[in-house]
Amino acid sequence: MLPIFPPVELINHAPLQQFTTFGVVAVCDHLYRVEDMEELKLAARYLERPLILGGGSNILPVGDVHRNVLRIELKGKEIVEDGPDPLVWAAAGENWHETVLWALGQDLGGIENLSLIPGTVGAAPLQNIGAYGVELESVFHSLEAIELTTGEIRTFTRDECRFGYRDSIFKQEARDRYIICGVFLRLHRDHQVNTSYGAIREVLEQKGITHPGIHEVSDAVISIRQSKLPDPAVIGNAGSFFKNPMIPVAKFEHLQALHPQLPGYPGNDGQVKVPAGWLIEKAGWKGKSIGPAGCYEKQALVLVNRGGATGLDIWNLAEEIMSAVRQMFDINLQPEVNIWK
Ligand code: EPU
């Protein structure tokens, strides 16, 4: 018997292609949309092990979903403590990019490099979103989350979130135990822009901008993303499908002897981070497709739905790519996207 929440909107047989950016056809038996904390508390209390959905920009449903899905639509954002480094709060259901634009409008710096990342504010700490030299953790202050078993609200500080590369406690031991309700960010009125990423410097140079501010950096990031990454409104995708793997230095040196062009960047714990896009391209998959599932021609790390692909089509392509990279480089790629099986 289904729990009944008169105040919570329920969609039976929800078409997940409308709620995820991959646009693969999949039906979810029960999708609940929560818009305020009271609804969220009710849902947390009554629904057993719900799957949590934000903007659906990092999810691949492989087949129909028979668990309850909870779509977090909590809204609101404000400066809660002003000063040289204001503390900003944003509700989990706010669109991330709109939050970046709002911060820019308030002349607040710190998240301009994270412009145009699809998804919601609540999903941002989950995987410590990052792009163009900046990760969320650099501005993250704390978050509030509701514990599913007790319905209690708990605060997590930055240390408690245990951020890593595309990682946090919410992908590890706290997985499926909390729903993030709102996030606090420490932003800055005295702007220190980060243009360390080569592509940003190139765009700024082309435009003749020598002293960029936060708006110029944001515009540069937006133009880089638009030139390399497919717009989910036009072609279904979830951004980078795989994480960039970290490998030991000795293994990197061995591979570089075989492939002198292999790029590598300093990673965690003295390891070397290798761009998965390069490995996939070298393994011959860039621009290739299996039926309607494709490896994007401008960025091999992005898998795309060329029209009518199922989650299984995309997953089968992902497995072929993982196997080709394993054979050629002895590296196991890990999906960055959450796979709903
Ligand atoms: N590369 C290739 N071929 C490709 C793609 C990339 O050779 O088809 C190589 C190039 O050497 C390039 C390097 O990979 O210089 C890095 O490429 P890029 O700058 O596009 O970044 P990425 O490592 O492929 C990561 C993030 C992106 C983020 C960019 C920019 C991950 C999994 N992905 O991609 O994040 O926008 O850096 O900072 O870390 C996302 O998470 O969805 C996402 C798009």
DSSP 13-24: EEEGGGTSTT--
Structure tokens belonging to residue 316? 């089968």
- Nearest atom in ligand 1 to the alpha carbon of residue 131 is 38
Place of tokens 């951020």: 163
The number of C-alpha atoms within 13 Å of 96 and in the hemisphere containing its C-beta is: 23
Element holding 201 (H helix, E strand): helix 198-206
- Residue from 278, 303, 321 whose mutation best tests the ligand 1 pocket (most atoms within 8 A of CB): 278
**Does the pLDDT at position 3 exceed 60?**
no
Give backbone dihedrals phi and psi of 328, rounded to 5 degrees, phi first: -80, -35
Residue type, 64: D
* pLDDT confidence bin for 5, thresholds 50/70/90: low
With a 6 Å cutoff on the Cβ, whether 284 touches ligand 1 is no
Please give the distance, rounded to the nearest whole angstrom, from the Cα atom of residue 265 to the centre of ligand 1: 12
| Mean pLDDT, all residues of the chain | 96
Is 225 assigned a catalytic role?
no
* pLDDT confidence bin for 98, thresholds 50/70/90: very high
* pLDDT confidence bin for 6, thresholds 50/70/90: low
Structure tokens belonging to residue 139? 């501005």
pLDDT tens-digit series, residues 28-50: 999 999 999 999 998 988 888 89
Quote the CA–CA distance of 268 and 245 in Å, as a whole number. Answer: 11
Residues contacting 167, CB < 8 A, separation 6+? 127, 128
Q: Which of 166, 168, 218, 225 is catalytic?
A: 166
Is 218 assigned a catalytic role?
no
Q: What pLDDT is recorded for position 1?
A: 38
- Nearest atom in ligand 1 to the alpha carbon of residue 282 is 7
68 contacts 55 by C-beta, under 8 angstroms: no
- Nearest atom in ligand 1 to the alpha carbon of residue 242 is 32
Please give the distance, rounded to the nearest whole angstrom, from the Cα atom of residue 235 to the centre of ligand 1: 18
Give backbone dihedrals phi and psi of 206, rounded to 5 degrees, phi first: -55, -35
Residue type, 119: G
pLDDT tens-digit series, residues 284-300: 999 999 999 999 999 99
Please give the distance, rounded to the nearest whole angstrom, from the Cα atom of residue 248 to the centre of ligand 1: 20
pLDDT tens-digit series, residues 162-194: 999 999 999 999 999 999 999 999 999 999 999
Cα–chain center distance at 210:
31
pLDDT tens-digit series, residues 99-152: 999 999 999 999 999 999 999 999 999 999 999 999 999 999 999 999 998 999
With a 6 Å cutoff on the Cβ, whether 73 touches ligand 1 is no
Nearest to 129 by CA among 197, 200, 139, 190: 139
% pLDDT > 70, the chain? 98
Strand, helix or coil at 76?
Answer: coil
